[in-house]
Amino acid sequence: MAERSSSSHPRIDTAAVSDALLGKWKTERLESRKLAADPRLHTVPGQSMDDHRERALEQLSILVEAGAIQRAFPTAVGGSDNHGGNIAAFQELVLADPSLQIKSGVQWGLFGAAILHLGTAKHHEQWLPDVINLQTPGAFAMTEIGHGSDVASIGTTATYDATTEEFEIHTPFAGAWKDYLGNAALHGRAAVVFAQLITRGVNHGVHAFYVPIRTPDGEMLPGVGSEDDGVKGGLNGIDNGRLHFTHVRVPRENLLNRYGDVAPDGTYSSEIESPGRRFFTMIGTLVQGRVSLDGSAVRAMQAALGIAIRYGSERRQFPGASGRETVLLDYGLHQRRLIPRLAQTYAMQFADERLLTVFDEVFSGAKDTDENREDLETLAAAFKPLSTWAALDTLQEAREACGGAGFIAKNRIVGLRADLDIYVTFEGDNNVLLQLVGKRLLSDYAAQFKNADRATLTRAAVNQIGDRVSRFGLRRVGQSIADFGQIARSIESMRSPEAQRELLADRVQTMVGDIALALRDATKGIPKEDGRARAVASENAFNAQQYKLIEAARAHGELLQWEAFTDALEKIADAGSRQVLTWLRDLFGLGIIERNAAWYLTAGRISPHRAESVTAYVDRLISRLRPHALDLVEPFGLTPELLRAEIATGIEAERQQEAHDYVEAQRAAGTWPVHEKELRKQRQAAERESRQAKAS
Amino acid sequence: MAERSSSSHPRIDTAAVSDALLGKWKTERLESRKLAADPRLHTVPGQSMDDHRERALEQLSILVEAGAIQRAFPTAVGGSDNHGGNIAAFQELVLADPSLQIKSGVQWGLFGAAILHLGTAKHHEQWLPDVINLQTPGAFAMTEIGHGSDVASIGTTATYDATTEEFEIHTPFAGAWKDYLGNAALHGRAAVVFAQLITRGVNHGVHAFYVPIRTPDGEMLPGVGSEDDGVKGGLNGIDNGRLHFTHVRVPRENLLNRYGDVAPDGTYSSEIESPGRRFFTMIGTLVQGRVSLDGSAVRAMQAALGIAIRYGSERRQFPGASGRETVLLDYGLHQRRLIPRLAQTYAMQFADERLLTVFDEVFSGAKDTDENREDLETLAAAFKPLSTWAALDTLQEAREACGGAGFIAKNRIVGLRADLDIYVTFEGDNNVLLQLVGKRLLSDYAAQFKNADRATLTRAAVNQIGDRVSRFGLRRVGQSIADFGQIARSIESMRSPEAQRELLADRVQTMVGDIALALRDATKGIPKEDGRARAVASENAFNAQQYKLIEAARAHGELLQWEAFTDALEKIADAGSRQVLTWLRDLFGLGIIERNAAWYLTAGRISPHRAESVTAYVDRLISRLRPHALDLVEPFGLTPELLRAEIATGIEAERQQEAHDYVEAQRAAGTWPVHEKELRKQRQAAERESRQAKAS
């Protein structure tokens, strides 16, 4: 650091901030970064799809040898029951190669985890060792061509035959073919297949089955067919493909029977009586995919900003008043493009740490309560969409901020963007996930007014009196606000965290209240007996609110991220770091308010004058943070081996220096040609002088 | 069509709308579409970079044979002097393969066009025939590693040596190496090199030189070096690379001397006295790249929406109240995602037609006035950024709207998105272009108040009294609005085009006025003599306004697009088409206002109530347009050969039908298993009944 931190010129302590970002699973993250720095695990730009697929498979073996993927598995099969650490380490792999990362996610986070969480001890013993050591590469066969988000409606059936004690796995039409499955086109030897379990003429809903699909030589087993999805927009190291099953028989024991079982005679049994709850419990065990993607997306954002901010700090363009060309990051627009995204990256990293913590509490069993599980699902459904979209947005802005250089593969950004594209729709389509959050907010809202009459509800929509709300559910606003604008008036300044929190929380609460009211009105006047008409009316009303509900869910997610950032701030002891990060947190919070100023103005929450002052303050924060931009990417720990972007190696500064030295040397030697413009100015000045001389 | 158009149920006449979209150069567009349908010109997903590069080169020969690229050249060298038609045809090629398109743009639109526009008759005779017939593939060597947007500051020099009557082309440091040049890595045999022309110790600024770089066998010529840019984020069919020159000598005659020449003795001469104006005149001849990209981006948007709307009309997910699963495009959110982008696509297509028209007027010489040239540059600088960004946004939304299927290369979207990524920063970085527009708006604004004092200027910033404004320059608002909100009050309804226009124009005018005022205050109090301090203060003030200025430029571009749409509407005779397109235009206009509601509210131009009614009306327009979505993509003329996206072939509807038929057949045969949920409901109902029976 050129300058030490002081109260008038605070600087961050990069080591302290680095620790804050690394969080609870620092050891696992650092181990994984070390691995991700290994050239054997790196992307080779331009590699053919076939070669990349082989390379990714080999890379998985390297992970096995390094002991990098065993953490989440039980100690009995060589793991360490370390759920949070497993995901934290996984997230770091995105900077090795997203194909390798996601292929390992398919193998151990989906295929292996399904056996672990949906199967029972005998399954673990029988299959997990070979899953872990990669003897059995496998596919996670849930999604079908015809059903992605709506898993409950998949078409594949598993019909029990008591005479042979077998299930018959069958995909009766093209829409029921399993699709987009990693390991399906080439490497998979088995698959966990999700199918409607039918026994004794009754469909007990979706269950998972272990189904061998290929011989060790790679031949398809009888009745199993595979199609290659071919080239994709990214992640071409993964052999995604389709699987279809024509009356394929597996033993009764291949049902992963933790939540539902079939006796030899075909009797179905389950500890969970409600088929709906049973389905959601099974699906809920698969939340780790979303958790994994959240932090991976944030890691990619860090890389994008690491590249763009380094380059933007060295690159110069257009002559400035200083006499030299202006550094890109000294342009107001360039700052507006990159610095708020830096604030967002910090917020999302802290939010991911919170998500990981809840995930670990649930999966380690430390706090495996229904409420915590529900919170985990809501948090994952809120954060994964926001971070994966933010990653694409940040990568793209970084790409553009680096101009043509950003488009060259050796500068890393375009490859990451292409690979991360699919993160926004897999493991839960982002919009569907946010809708889930929105529905949770609506039910939290309704729970507050369980027996309330219409008048109370209406009043509440204005007054926002909170009641029971769970830890990550709907936030209540601290004070009642009977009049529009009171929040804005009742707070000293928007700079205080209390004020930011109130504005952010109020928006969520009010939006949800408005939507609830609109939905409640939908079936008004339609007789109770006319179920169909009421269903249609409800559907239409919901559809009319769907866009707003998703906006509310997004607002809720941002509030939670803001809270995570604020909580993290409190744990930072170093004064300089705390000061700079407070500006960054304020930028994140006020940035959200600025972006949604129309809502705040329309709802009467802020005055037009206040809206302008938010923008002015955002501008001030950005220029205040500008000198800290490089310091703030430092704690991301983006070593050259991890970043591998030529333009972020200092090469641009060298080139600028070389050009500058060349010109200076020419000037010193008197060989620098005068510019015609200069001559012209001199001539014009001389003419003016001679005219003046004549006139006087 | 299932239903005929009537005044109560209007339908569009797809042929009439198709003609409106095809515009003035319908013949050329249709010829080019026919060519783009030729499989020899199509992208092969997953092809290696080397193979793709060879293929693209071969494809250029096919274009030559087809007579597809000669239109813009003079009749003397086999062309037809058809400038508008040339660009229109070029734009259509994007659906063959963007690599082929841009490589042809490099060869004929940049390399060839530079010889045409910057050279003189002898150059045309000497070089153009071989450029046209592809005997001389060439590079357009303007951009350097160190200078992209700021062409005036490039480092390459061309120093005249009167003793040998040669120019010495030299790249004195790495930053001066030419970079990102198509045809540089492999195929180029010559280059048009931009360099600082130095003769007799004076630098006369940037000029262009014809420089051979490779032998016919592909060997580099002495002193010329080449580096391969390698794999890129897209457009991998183009051999982009670097060129550097070490004291390479070319004859004096190789200076493209239309705007500046050097006599054998080294005397420099130019018809344009001012070096600044000369530079901008030379650079201005290269505007066609931007014009070309504008319509290409719109064409890609059409393809994206063609795919996503077709798929969204067939794909079903989640059971609906209708008893069947709901079609995606019946979801409120899905409509919000796609239909406003359809409106934008129409607006941008009509805007591109206007841009092409001005381009043709200038380049054909029909209306080659200074004012028209200036307007052309402003229009191109406004439209190219908006359309290329919109293309990336629309392709991405379409990708996500198609879920996993959107990520598979055979469904086309991801390839187009990867290729078009660079369109937003090449041929003028989008932000730099918008800044150019912003500066034009500021000077138009200043021109209105040439001798005004400060009080007048301040009043004007509020009153917005327009004065001289050129055709595509700053719009003036029709009536003065002394009070906030008067616009919103003075208009009958926002649905009228007059009201929309006023709101859109007022925003531009007011923003520009505010910025002008802020800039004018910047040097207040700094003495006139202190030039440096004033320069720094001006720079800082500009920097503080840069973000807003670019917003204003964007707003201006959108206004011009809105006007183009509105003008196009007037030419549509068919009543049904006019009605539906009017809704679409309204959606475009009100969509802009909705997106910028915060500004309108803060500036007091609309009331909170009005802001809510804009959103409500946007919602109504979207659902009104929903039934026309397929009709509205029909006029894009996206034949299967052009679209080549499996999911847009009707395959999804077939799969839905197959699944539906299967279930219906099972139900009919009585073999459809009852669901446990159903049994549970029946049991619960039975229990309730038995309890009630007992109780009574």
The torsion angles phi and psi of A320, rounded to 5 degrees, stand at -115, 175
Which residues lie across from B167 on neighbouring strands?
B160, B250
Looking at residue A4, what is its pLDDT? 66
DSSP state of A250: E
Q: What's B217's DSSP letter?
A: T
- Closest residue in A to B670 (Cα–Cα): A201
Give A179's contacts in chain B (Cβ within 8 Å): 404
Indicate the residue type of A632.
L
**pLDDT score at B113:** 97
Cβ separation B173–A49 shorter than 8 A: no
Is residue A400 less than 8 Å (CB to CB) from chain B?
Answer: yes
For residue B16, the distance in angstroms to the closest alpha carbon of chain A comes to: 33
- Sequence-ordered list of residues with C-beta below 8 angstroms from that of A375, at least 6 positions apart, any chain: A358, A470, A471, A472, A473
Residue B338: HSE in the Cβ half-sphere, 13 Å Cα cutoff: 33
CA geometry: angle B12, B13, B18, nearest 5 deg: 105
Query: Are B582 and B500 in contact, with CB atoms under 8 Å apart?
Result: no
**Residues of chain A positioned with their CB less than 8 A from the CB of B330:** 543
CA distance A570 to chain B (A): 32
Q: Do B205 and A675 touch (CB under 8 A)?
A: yes
Q: What pLDDT score does A692 carry? A: 87
Cα distances (angstroms) measured from residue A358 to each of A299, A372, A387, A559: 20, 7, 17, 17
Tell me the CA distances in angstroms from A477 to A320, A498, A507, B424, one per residue in order. Answer: 48, 10, 9, 43
Contact B173 A539 (CB under 8 A): no
Question: Using CA atoms, how far apart are residues A611 and B602, in angstroms rounded to an integer?
Answer: 7
Summarised one tens digit per residue, pLDDT across range A474-514 is 665 543 333 344 444 544 577 899 999 999 999 999 999 99
Q: How far apart are CA A414 and CA B125, in angstroms?
A: 42
Task: Tell me the CATH number for domain A287-646.
Answer: 1.20.140.10
With 0-12 CB in 10 A as exposed, 13-18 as middle and 19+ as buried, what is B681? Answer: exposed
| pTM of the predicted model as reported, rounded to 2 decimal places | 0.95
Q: pLDDT averaged over consecutive 10-residue blocks of chain B (696 residues)?
A: 70 97 98 98 95 98 97 94 97 98 98 97 97 98 96 97 98 98 98 98 98 96 98 98 98 98 98 95 92 98 98 96 94 98 98 98 94 94 98 98 98 98 97 97 86 60 44 53 44 79 95 94 88 91 96 98 98 97 98 97 92 93 97 98 98 97 96 95 91 83
Residue B236 CB contacts under 8 Å (≥ 6 apart), including other chains: A46, B49, B52, B53, B99
Examine the pLDDT at A41 and tell me if it is beyond 90. Answer: yes
Task: Chain B: give the shortest CA distance to residue A654, in Å.
Answer: 9
Topology, domain B434-628: Butyryl-CoA Dehydrogenase, subunit A; domain 3 (1.20.140)
Given A233, A332, A675, which is nearest B544 (Cβ)? A332
How big is chain B by its Cα radius of gyration, in Å? 29
Q: Which residue in A390, A395, A414, A102 sits closest to A233, CA to CA?
A: A414
Of B209, B214, B258, which Cα lies nearest the Cα of B111? B209
Q: For residue B230, which amino acid is it? A: G
> Which candidate, B643, B642, B646, B645, places its Cα nearest to that of B654?
B646
Per-residue tokens: B562: 């809105």
Compute CA A549 distance to the chain's CA centroid, rounded to the nearest angstrom: 20
- Helix pair angle (B531-570, B497-520), 10° resolution: 170
Q: A430 touching B, CB under 8 A? A: yes
From the CA of A316, how many Å to the nearest CA of chain B?
8
Q: Write down the pLDDT at residue A592.
A: 98
| pLDDT recorded at residue A408 | 98
Residues B249 and B223: their CA atoms lie apart, in Å, by 9
Superfamily of domain B140-275: Butyryl-CoA Dehydrogenase, subunit A, domain 2 (2.40.110.10)
How close does chain B come to A192, measured CA to CA in Å? 19
Contacts of B150 in chain A (CB under 8 A): 317-319, 325
Radius of gyration of chain A from its Cα atoms, rounded to whole angstroms: 29
A148, HSE (Cβ side, Cα atoms, 13 Å): 23
* B567: closest CA of chain A, how far (Å): 30
User: CB distance from B567 to chain A under 8 Å?
Assistant: no
Specify whether the CB–CB gap between A276 and B677 falls below 8 A.
Answer: yes
Q: What are the CA-CA distances from residue A458 to residues A464, A465, A509 (Å)?
A: 10, 11, 13
Query: Which of B202, B230, B408 lies at the smallest CB-CB distance from A408?
Result: B230
Q: Is A366 exposed, middle or buried (0-12, 13-18, 19+ CB in 10 A)?
A: exposed
Interchain contact A50–B (C-beta under 8 A): no
CA B517 – CA B507 distance, rounded (Å): 15
The whole-angstrom separation of Cα B280 and Cα A677 is 14
CB pairs under 8 A between A and B: 294
How far is the C-alpha of B85 from the C-alpha of A274, rounded, in Å?
67
Which of B421, B456, B434 shows the shortest CA–CA distance to B549? B434
> β-strand A138-141 against A316-319: which pairing, if any?
unpaired
Question: Is A409 an interface residue toward B (CB < 8 Å)?
Answer: yes
Optimal mutation site among A407, A536, A595, A684, interface B, most CBs of chain B within 10 A: A407
> For the domain B288-433, what is the CATH code?
1.20.140.10
- CB count within 10 Å of CB A289 equals 21
Residues B419-476 have pLDDT tens digits of 999 999 999 999 999 999 999 999 999 887 766 665 665 555 555 433 334 455 666 5
Which residue of B408, B514, B613 to mutate against A (max A Cβ within 10 Å)?
Answer: B408
Q: What is the dihedral of CA B248, B254, B259, B265, to 10 degrees?
A: 80
- pLDDT-based confidence at residue A596 (cuts at 50, 70, 90): very high
What lies within 8 Å, CB to CB, of B681 at 6+ separation is none
A676 and B203 in contact by Cβ < 8 A?
Answer: yes
A659 in contact with B, Cβ within 8 Å: yes
Measured over the CA atoms of residue A249, residue A251, residue A254 and residue A259, the dihedral's sign is positive
Tell if the CB–CB gap between B143 and A611 is shorter than 8 Å: no
Domain ranges of chain B: 14-132, 140-275, 288-433, 434-628
Is A396 in the B-facing interface, judged by CB distances under 8 Å?
A: yes
Q: Kindly report the nearest CA distance between residue B415 and chain A, in angstroms.
A: 7
B46: left (phi over 0), alpha (psi -120 to 50) or beta: left
For residue B126, CA distances in Å to B76, B121, B129, B285 come to 12, 8, 7, 20
Q: How far is B414 from chain A (nearest CA, A)?
A: 5
**B236: closest chain A residue by CA:** A46
**Inter-chain touch A230–B46, beta carbons under 8 Å:** yes
| B410 near A CB under 8 A | yes
A231 vs B655: CB contact, 8 Å cut-off?
Answer: no
B629 close to B313: Cβ distance less than 8 angstroms: yes
Q: Minimal Cα–Cα distance from A349 to chain B, Å?
A: 24
Residue of B nearest to A616 (CA): B544
pLDDT at residue number B480 = 37
Write the CA distances from A619 to A561, B515, B540, integer angstroms: 21, 15, 13
Chain B closest-CA separation from residue A408 CA (Å): 4
The CA distance from A604 to A593, in Å, is 13
Question: A11-276 domain in CATH 2.40.110.10?
Answer: yes
pLDDT-above-90 percentage for chain A: 87
> What CA–CA distance (Å, rounded) separates B154 from B168?
16
Contact B675 A332 (CB under 8 A): no
Put simply, the chain B residues between 283 and 322 with a CB less than 8 A from any chain A CB are 317-322
Q: Specify the pLDDT at position B404.
A: 97
Give residues 119 to 148 of A whose Cβ lies within 8 Å of B: 143, 145-148
Q: Which residues are registered as beta bridge partners of A327?
A: A316
Residues in B touching A603 (Cβ below 8 Å): 608
How would CATH label the architecture of B14-132? Orthogonal Bundle (1.10)
Q: Is A620 on the interface with B (CB under 8 A)?
A: no
Contacts of B413 in chain A (CB under 8 A): 233
Searching chain A, which residue's CA lies closest to the CA of residue B597?
A598
Nearest to A645, CA basis, from A412, A408, A415, A418: A412
CA distance B608 to A123: 61
- Do the domains B434-628 and B140-275 match in fold? no
Closest residue in A to B679 (Cα) is A202
Query: What pLDDT does B420 receive?
Result: 98
Q: Is A274 on the interface with B (CB under 8 A)?
A: yes
- Are B149 and A318 inside 8 Å of each other by CB? yes
DSSP 8-state code for residue A483: S
Indicate the residue of A543, A598, A676 with minimum beta-carbon distance to B598: A598
User: What is the pLDDT, as a whole number, of residue A465?
Assistant: 38
Find chain B residues with C-beta within 8 A of A196's C-beta: 673
The interface predicted TM-score (ipTM) is: 0.95
Structure tokens at A441: 């907010």
Q: Would you state the pLDDT for residue A1?
A: 39
Q: Which of residues 457-516 of A touch B (CB under 8 A)?
A: none
Residue of B nearest to A270 (CA): B676
Residues 165-224 of B with CB under 8 A from A: 172-176, 179-180, 196, 198, 201-205
Q: Cβ contact (<8 Å) for A404 and B180? A: yes
